[in-house]
């Protein structure tokens, strides 16, 4: 059976960290993902169809992002992950089912405190054992900004549709994107699901598969451009 791929909206994402060496060991050694472009200032992790680059900064930062995995491998992946990390818990649970997304999720944190979600898409199957191919692509990237309404308008005008409507809710979690890949737009100081952390604004960059480029500064303001 071939996996049904909707294609990832995210080509690459850049995050910042003051724990570059620890993260490189974590993603390469613990999660066993392919590492490239390694230097004293940054490294890149291959996540299926997407890449994540961590760049060094002297200021601590943490983000929320999610990775799609095949739904039929969710239990295998959970068993594999529990041997390597401590899964986050919420009200005694260490996984959750989202009916509206037909997906199961588990959460954990890396050494920099990034809140990572693995989302098992029930309409995606991959036969065989777990391999790096089981990490399909980046599913979600959280953008925390005090300017939720303004940024939401900018992203929609840029051609990134809001799931479930056209008006963002500054006091809620907003999903912008399509298929199984979304930007998650939230205001600061909102508690992240399955975490004790609250959302904070940190700089990041997103390059999308269609050439769109999004830069978020440390105040939560965005700059948009298209790469031709």
pLDDT at 6: 53
| Domains within the chain, CATH numbers bracketed | 10-226 (3.10.180.10)
Model pLDDT, residue 1: 32
The dihedral built from the CA positions of residue 28, 33, 39 and 41, taken in this order, carries a sign that is: negative
Backbone angles phi, psi at 142, to 5 degrees: -85, 130
Band of the pLDDT at 209, cuts 50, 70, 90?
Answer: very high
The pTM assigned to this predicted structure is: 0.94
Q: For the chain, percent helix, then strand, then coil, each to nearest 5?
A: 15, 40, 45
Task: Give the pLDDT of residue 34.
Answer: 96
pLDDT of residue 37: 84
């Amino acid at each position: 059976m071939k996996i049904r791929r909707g294609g990832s909206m995210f080509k690459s994402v850049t995050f910042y960290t003051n724990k570059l060496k620890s993260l490189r060991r974590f993603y390469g050694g613990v999660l066993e993902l392919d590492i490239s472009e390694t230097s004293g200032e940054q490294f890149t992790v291959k996540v299926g169809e997407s890449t994540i680059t961590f760049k060094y900064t002297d200021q601590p930062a943490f983000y929320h992002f999610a990775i799609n995995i095949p739904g039929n491998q969710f239990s295998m992946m959970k068993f594999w992950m529990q041997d390597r990390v401590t899964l986050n818990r919420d009200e005694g649970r260490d996984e959750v089912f989202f009916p509206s997304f037909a997906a199961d999720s588990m959460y954990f944190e890396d050494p920099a405190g990034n809140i990572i979600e693995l989302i098992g898409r029930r309409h995606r199957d991959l036969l065989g054992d777990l391999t790096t191919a089981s990490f399909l692509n980046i599913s979600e990237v959280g953008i925390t900004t005090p300017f939720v309404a303004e940024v939401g308008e900018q992203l929609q005008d840029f051609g990134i549709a809001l799931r479930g409507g056209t008006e963002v809710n500054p006091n809620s979690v907003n999903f912008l994107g399509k298929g199984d890949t979304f930007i998650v737009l939230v205001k600061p100081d909102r508690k992240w699901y399955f975490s004790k952390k609250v959302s904070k604004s940190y700089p990041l960059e997103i390059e999308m598969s269609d050439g769109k480029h999004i830069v978020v500064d440390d105040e939560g303001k965005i700059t948009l451009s298209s790469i031709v």
